[in-house]
Amino acid sequence: MKKYLLLPGIVFLFAACSKSNNTPDPLTPESQIPIAGKSWVFTVEASATRYTFIRTNLNNMFRKDVDKTYSLYELSKDDNCEFYVSETQAENGDKCVTIQLAKNKNRWCFAGPSTNLQEMHMGISNSGSITIAPSDDYKFYLHRQPSVNGIITAVFESVTHPGYYMSASPPGFNYAANQMTFTKEISPEKATGWQCRTASQ
């Protein structure tokens, strides 16, 4: 009887091995979905009913809260809150990413000292290129984190200021309370984990 069960097993194994590598696996966990090459709305949990999301006025970067019931698709149309992440290399050859405004890829996000040189802030500036970042100030190490409620989550660390991570923390009293900051942390696990959501979510 066992020899008759062998043939179906061989056929199944052959079919499995013949599966095209280009066919997406519907069971792929969120941790395997690439972040680079896609546009995202970055959020953190503000409360049980609200998100904090990242936005720009085209000249600076800010945090803002919104009800979770509000459509992210509508939010991305109404506000400058959808950002394109692409893979690149730092000047030393390290693998990293850039963050651009999806609506206008001439706008690149960067990390740099505050005007009083006492904090690290996140800013955005215009560039003549949509493919080449102005400098390493505009590049970030990407640290994948466990998903949050099935949502891809990542930590972003400044390339030129190692140990400083994109944060949901407010700045000092000299600045607008919703100014985007980078905070010094001992490890990526201690930093803000940003949920990467598509505008359709």
**Cα–Cα distance between 168 and 180 in angstroms, integer?**
7
Q: Does pLDDT of 8 surpass 70? A: no
List, as one string, the DSSP characters of 127-161: -S-SSS-SSGGG-EEEEEEEEETTEEEEEEEESSS
Predicted local distance difference test score (pLDDT) of residue 3: 45
**pLDDT above 70 coverage of the chain, percent:** 84
Domain ranges of the chain: 34-197
pLDDT, averaged across the chain: 88
pLDDT tier at 31, thresholds 50, 70, 90: low
List, as one string, the DSSP characters of 18-31: TS-TTSPPTT--GG
Letter for the amino acid at 49?
T
Q: Count Cα atoms within 13 angstroms, Cβ side, for 187.
A: 4
Q: Does pLDDT of 30 surpass 90? A: no
**Cα–Cα distance between 196 and 15 in angstroms, integer?**
35
Q: Does pLDDT of 175 surpass 60? A: yes
Residues 106-164: tens digit of each pLDDT: 999 999 999 999 999 999 999 999 999 999 999 999 999 999 888 999 999 999 999 99
| Mean pLDDT across 158-171 | 98
**Cα–Cα distance between 156 and 44 in angstroms, integer?**
13
Predicted local distance difference test score (pLDDT) of residue 201: 59
Name the pairing type of β-strands 95-101 and 50-56: unpaired
pLDDT tier at 20, thresholds 50, 70, 90: very low
| Mean pLDDT across 43-67 | 97
| Mean pLDDT across 171-200 | 96
Determine which of 7-11, 81-85, 196-200 has the lowest per-residue pLDDT on average.
7-11
Q: What is the third-level CATH fold of 34-197? A: Trefoil (Acidic Fibroblast Growth Factor, subunit A) (2.80.10)
Residues 98-118: tens digit of each pLDDT: 999 999 999 999 999 999 999
**Cα–Cα distance between 201 and 194 in angstroms, integer?**
15
**Cα–Cα distance between 44 and 64 in angstroms, integer?**
10
- Smallest CA-to-CA distance from 31 within 196, 172, 147 is with 147
- Residue the block writes with tokens 């960067």: 110
